Amino acid sequence: MIAQEQIPTVLDHPVYDPEGKKIGDAKHVFVDDATGRPEWVTVKTGMFGTSESFVPIKDASLVDGHLEVPYPKDRVKDAPHVDVDGGGHLDASEEQRLYEYYGIKWDEAWQQANQPGEGGWAHGTAGAAGTAGAAGMADRDRGGLAGEDMGMEATGRATGDDAMTRSEEEMHVGTERVETGHVRLRKYVVTEEVQQTVPVRHEEVRLEREPITDANRGEALSGPEISEAEHEVTLHEERPVVETRAVPKERVRLRTDEVTDEETVTGQVRKERIDVETDETGMTRDRDADEGRGM
């Protein structure tokens, strides 16, 4: 159990699950309206801490400057979304829904809050102690604890003047670098048929006859008058010969180019509004409207 005086130590500090995984940072502590006992802590989760998840603080503990809760990270992140009104107040139905999600029986939680050993506390709805809360106390106008008597603002800050501080949430969008895939070069061999025309030559036999003349008479009468003879001619031809050689053709490499696109990110931010109530006319005016929403 986190004591009331430990709330400033919890706020804006990391929150871890039982396995040592960081869930997020503690944003608000909600305390019981009637007792001031810490009941819930909200943890900023999601990308850039854009969401807040409620976690029971009853069985949480402070370890080495951070808060440990007995619930897995995924269970906390998937907790029901609860809209807290402008006063930072958690009503009974919302609190019951959260108890059921975390497997805590509403009746048992109510009985424990009313045990005499716990100081006779009566279980009521929970109000928030903001990040700047002194001792984590919230405004008790809605719950019964008089914050005005303690000289505190609605946010719990000690103050000596009569001014209110109006705050707004601003959305800050950043980028993170993530892997989207892998591209690799792979070289492999394929076989293709290639046709090429090449001229080839061959020899053919042609029979020539010539008459006996004075020019060739001597060669014609050089042998016997009547005899048998044989003469042979060798024929030749050219045939295609295929030879392959590896020839470098090109160099191939992978390079990455950064391309900038624009994406529209939609989120929700909360803004505080200050109304001016007058006893003279009984009417309520929106100060933002009077001042052109310039606050």
User: 149-193: per-residue pLDDT in tens?
Assistant: 333 333 334 445 678 888 998 888 888 888 888 899 999 999 999
Which domains are delineated in the chain? 4-161 (3.90.50.10)
Asked if residues 246 and 253 have their Cβ atoms less than 8 Å apart, the reply is: no
Asked if residues 234 and 202 have their Cβ atoms less than 8 Å apart, the reply is: no
pTM for the model: 0.40
Q: Residue with structure tokens 């029979």?
A: 207
Q: Please give the mean pLDDT across all residues of the chain.
A: 76
Q: Is 23 helix (H, G, I), strand (E, B) or coil?
A: strand
User: 7-35: per-residue pLDDT in tens?
Assistant: 888 888 889 988 888 888 888 888 877 77
User: 89-123: per-residue pLDDT in tens?
Assistant: 777 888 888 888 988 876 665 555 555 444 333 34
Asked if residues 17 and 71 have their Cβ atoms less than 8 Å apart, the reply is: yes
- What confidence category does residue 204 fall into, taking pLDDT thresholds of 50, 70 and 90? very high
pLDDT score recorded for residue 140? 32
**Residue closest to 87 by CA, chosen among 143, 39, 26:** 143
| % of the chain exceeding 70 in pLDDT | 72
Higher pLDDT, 249 or 141: 249
